[in-house]
Chains A and B, each alone.
Chain A
Amino acid sequence: MIIDALELPAGTELQADVCIVGSGAAGIALALPFADGRHEVIVIEAGGARHEPETQALYAGEVADTRLHPPLDRYRERRYGGSTTTWGGRCVPFDPIDFEVRDYVPHSGWPIGHETLQPYYARATQLCEAGECAFDAASAFPRGLPPLLAGFDSASFSTDTLERFSCPTDFGRRYRQRLDAAANLRVLLHANVTGVELGDDGRAVSAVRAASLGGKTLRVRARCVILAAGGLENARLLLASDEVQRTGIGNAHDLVGRYYMCHLAGTTGTLALEPGVAVRYGYDVSDDGIYCRRRFALRADAQRRLGVGNFIARLHHPRITDPAHGSGALSLLYLAKPFIPYEYAKRLHGDDAHGIGRWLAHLGNLVRDPLQAFAFAWQMLTQRKLAERKFPSIIIEPRRPRFSLDFHAEQLPNPDSRVTLGSERDALGMRRLHLDWRYRREDVETVARALATFAADVRASGIGRYDYDPDAIEAEMLRYGAYGGHHIGTARMGRSPREGVVDTNLQVHGVDNLFVAGAAVFPTSSQANPTLTIVALSLRLAGHLQARLAAGAPHAAAPPRELAA
């Protein structure tokens, strides 16, 4: 059932077997397997059913360099459903190489392998409403597809891997009925967790403390507590809960908040194809009705040979802000930017000069090419605005075979990229985050070497040319700063407390009943968007917790561990 904490008496104490902090992709995926089971579950959600500015403001924090990272109350939603209320829906599993120790990538390697997570991807894909777990073109399209780029012959890039798109599914809305109907589940809205309380020995959580903006407080006592509040907030909660473990929970080795990764993304260069070269730009719809898209994926052996991180690139339209593209549809988007949500309008602003001249040039494009603009607006209305399964992105077939390349690359783990507690406090008295996102030379190299290889392979294939400015790569990948919304690595998984905040079961080292779900636990970031893997890890964690609760694991009987405090 779904309960508003504002309606509970002040000072309420609740009991459960499982307490999940957060109702986003991680929290809901974790709660659903418990529905109608025999364990009592409480999900604590800070927000309400809708976006509320005062609640959202609790996310605000300081950013060390605002050119490099968006404000902390952007790209995440403090509300029921979490950031799935705003995500784009791209579902991509991690690749086997992402889990490996790569000698050319310091701090790489997951303590679990691809095969450990693989069994959970099918159910995760289903929960994300992205259809069957078929992420290569051959299995998703058994009757075959025309080539992505005819004649492109590359030993380094695969054109066979797929991204599959969720509706995009707002987990809160989609699974509301199921959460509400389950008698053993309680979702508490408007309950902001302000601290995780440990017992005196620091070895187990005794209670989770929460407060509403109206000043009511409540406590939840549970046999297992899982932080599923997002990659930034999980770290904040661990660091801010410093009453017993003075440096924050699980932070004896100064790992919480470090290794903060996003992705490196940008749009660059021009792929000019010879006349007659067939190219499949855009989406293919699989039999199960899912928008799927192929892309150029740097193969694992090429990554090893080049000594770079994981990398993919998609064909893309020219930069929207530059009216030289001559496209009425793209100019329409430029002119419509005041009506497009911040998270998706960023690329419409960019850092180019703005002014009436540019605006007029776009208006000129629109006037010269009204049909394309109209067709595009119609598609956006019928296949996006009114559809429950939305056409995932802007696809405008160019008049000439010219594309830019939209890349999405792994950011390599870097202990100096981190979040810490700042000095300011929010309305509930919790210290706000200070975020210092850093990238390294090697991250630029991933993109540089991958693009150089792509350009060489295009040329060698004799199908055209890919021209780009190698010296502008760093500027391009930072044009909009770190890729928004992917908050990875702040409570990384590691076999020992020295290597990670959580163990392979996502349990905080040294704290017997505290777990972390979400991208915070990813030791590396892959080329893939994180949501699908977040959901897969949550499903795995649900299984682990169910087995543990069924076995009745008493706290006192836990095997001795290295003391974390």
Chain B
Amino acid sequence: MSARVLVLGGSGYIGGQVARTLAAAGGWQVIVASRRPRAAAGVRTLALDARNADALAGVVGGVDAVVNCVTGGPADIRANADALATALRRQARAPRLVHLSSMAVYGASTGRIDEWSVTAPQSGYGRAKCDAEDILRHCPNTVLLRPGCVYGPGSVQWSVRIAQLLRERRLGDLGADGDGYGNLVHVDDVVAAIRQSLYRDSAAGKTFNLSLADADLPTWNEYFVEFARRLGAVPVARIPARRLSLETQLLAPLLKLAELGLRRLGLDTGGLPPAITPSMRALWQQRIRLDSRRAAAELGLRWKPLGEGLAETAAALRVVPLARQPA
């Protein structure tokens, strides 16, 4: 009989990929739980509020492993961690927990950052992720994963929106604003890390950074230029610093207002153009390099090369190159 794994937040981007991959690989009976589960082949779906300890306790008792991909606002993140910890404490035998945290726990740190570096979250999101780690770290049999910026086919934040911004020439070469390191990690590598964390006994109680090897980390400028070329969004634009200031200080707040307005009216916000927020701008300048050697060594991961990952991502966006073909 195969082991049973519960994927919390299984309708999300990473949760969905994990559920599909585990189901396809065999050896796992996959249960996907989320507030509004979508039916998917080979998995059992379950409507569940992952902030509710009682609801969680009823499910985690019957599984061998839990993958926690729940995200949301800071309050949701904390409530989910509290509820999950409470539910797990009620179990006689703790299932393996793989909890997806974030590099946001390192805040504005710079330089090479390994898993022993102090956490110094700055954003509300980062502080909530940090609190969630603290809550869950004390549960037995837990693995914490801290991915960098997850890109790949379907990644809204670091691929789809970036592609749109590149095509609209709102992003490109940012000069000094893009000198930070892009601590990118392909979604397949995150899924692989989760799988390995489920299998390996030695991973329990450990924390792992997930990102490209630091020698291979591109600067954000390099990422944008390379991605734009793969998308055929050429020639790549040079974005003046004052244009970025307009984006972050004027356009982004307006888009936020528009989003809130549309929400209030119960309308779809998907048609709004993506915003470039002040926190994105700060991240693109940040000279932080995640040291992911521990994950590579102990989880046996080989990071997908950026060029390969971008080629797949661009292909998935089904782009007709804008550039002229040879005569």
Chain A positions within 8 Å of B, measured between CB atoms, are: 36, 129, 143-144, 167, 173-178, 181, 285-290, 386-389
Q: In this assembly, does B62 line the interface, its C-beta being within 8 Å of a C-beta of chain A?
A: no
- A40 to B238: give the CA distance in the assembly, Å: 34
- A174 to B305: give the CA distance in the assembly, Å: 29
Contact A177/B179 with A143-B325, A144-B327, A288-B229 known, Cβ cut-off 8 Å: yes
Partner of A287, one of B236, B241, B325, B327: B236
Q: Are A287 and B285 in contact (CB under 8 A)?
A: no
Chain B: minimal CB distance from A366 (Å):
30
Q: List 30 A-B contacts (CB under 8 A).
A: A129-B173, A129-B175, A143-B323, A143-B324, A143-B325, A143-B326, A167-B175, A167-B238, A173-B176, A174-B176, A178-B176, A178-B179, A181-B110, A181-B287, A287-B235, A287-B236, A287-B323, A288-B173, A288-B225, A288-B234, A288-B236, A289-B172, A289-B173, A289-B237, A290-B235, A387-B238, A388-B175, A388-B239, A388-B241, A389-B173
- A290 to B324: give the CA distance in the assembly, Å: 17
Q: Are B326 and A176 in contact (CB under 8 A)?
A: no
Query: Which B273-293 residues have C-beta < 8 A from chain A?
Result: 285, 287
User: What residues on B are CB-neighbors of A285 within 8 Å?
Assistant: 235
- A387 to B287: give the CA distance in the assembly, Å: 26
Question: Interface residues of A: mostly helix, strand, loop or mixed?
Answer: loop
Q: In this assembly, does B240 line the interface, its C-beta being within 8 Å of a C-beta of chain A?
A: yes
A-contact bits for B292-327, CB 8 A (1 contact / 0 none): 000000000000000000000000000000011111
Contact A388/B229 with A143-B326, A174-B175 known, Cβ cut-off 8 Å: no
User: What residues on A are CB-neighbors of B285 within 8 Å?
Assistant: 177
Q: Are A287 and B175 in contact (CB under 8 A)?
A: no
- A143 to B229: give the CA distance in the assembly, Å: 13
A-contact bits for B142-167, CB 8 A (1 contact / 0 none): 00000000000000000000000000
- A173 to B324: give the CA distance in the assembly, Å: 36
User: What residues on A are CB-neighbors of B173 within 8 Å?
Assistant: 129, 288-289, 389
- A175 to B175: give the CA distance in the assembly, Å: 9
Residue of B nearest to A174 (CB): B176
Chain B: minimal CB distance from A43 (Å):
18
Q: In this assembly, does B111 line the interface, its C-beta being within 8 Å of a C-beta of chain A?
A: yes
- A178 to B229: give the CA distance in the assembly, Å: 27
Residue of A nearest to B237 (CB): A289
Residue of A nearest to B174 (CB): A388
A-B contact count (CB 8 A): 57
- A425 to B258: give the CA distance in the assembly, Å: 66
User: What residues on A are CB-neighbors of B235 within 8 Å?
Assistant: 285-290
- A386 to B239: give the CA distance in the assembly, Å: 11
User: What residues on B are CB-neighbors of A143 within 8 Å?
Assistant: 323-326
Residue of B nearest to A182 (CB): B287
Residue of A nearest to B324 (CB): A143
Chain B: minimal CB distance from A458 (Å):
26
- A36 to B176: give the CA distance in the assembly, Å: 17
User: What residues on A are CB-neighbors of B234 within 8 Å?
Assistant: 287-289
Residue of A nearest to B285 (CB): A177
A-contact bits for B38-64, CB 8 A (1 contact / 0 none): 000000000000000000000000000
- A447 to B326: give the CA distance in the assembly, Å: 37
- A174 to B219: give the CA distance in the assembly, Å: 15
User: What residues on A are CB-neighbors of B239 within 8 Å?
Assistant: 388
Residue of B nearest to A291 (CB): B235
- A31 to B237: give the CA distance in the assembly, Å: 28
Residue of B nearest to A144 (CB): B326
Residue of A nearest to B112 (CB): A36
Chain B: minimal CB distance from A152 (Å):
19
Residue of A nearest to B222 (CB): A126
Chain B: minimal CB distance from A293 (Å):
15
- A129 to B240: give the CA distance in the assembly, Å: 14
- A386 to B235: give the CA distance in the assembly, Å: 18
User: What residues on B are CB-neighbors of A174 within 8 Å?
Assistant: 175-176
State the 9 A-B residue pairs at the shortest beta-carbon distance, nearest first.
A389-B238, A287-B234, A289-B236, A388-B240, A289-B235, A285-B235, A143-B326, A388-B238, A144-B326
Chain B: minimal CB distance from A176 (Å):
7
Residue of B nearest to A167 (CB): B238
User: What residues on B are CB-neighbors of A173 within 8 Å?
Assistant: 176
User: What residues on A are CB-neighbors of B111 within 8 Å?
Assistant: 36
Chain B: minimal CB distance from A472 (Å):
40
A-contact bits for B205-243, CB 8 A (1 contact / 0 none): 000000000000000000001000100001111111100
- A289 to B234: give the CA distance in the assembly, Å: 7
User: What residues on B are CB-neighbors of A144 within 8 Å?
Assistant: 326-327
Known contacts A287-B234, A388-B175, then 18 further A-B pairs from the complex at CB < 8 Å, ordered by chain A residue: A36-B111, A36-B287, A175-B176, A177-B285, A178-B176, A178-B287, A287-B323, A288-B173, A288-B225, A288-B229, A288-B235, A288-B236, A289-B172, A289-B225, A289-B237, A289-B238, A388-B240, A389-B238
Chain B: minimal CB distance from A168 (Å):
12
- A197 to B5: give the CA distance in the assembly, Å: 72
Residue of A nearest to B229 (CB): A287
- A290 to B238: give the CA distance in the assembly, Å: 9
- A288 to B230: give the CA distance in the assembly, Å: 11
Chain B: minimal CB distance from A403 (Å):
25
- A373 to B179: give the CA distance in the assembly, Å: 38
Chain A: minimal CB distance from B25 (Å):
39
Residue of A nearest to B172 (CB): A289
Query: Which B88-140 residues have C-beta < 8 A from chain A?
Result: 110-111
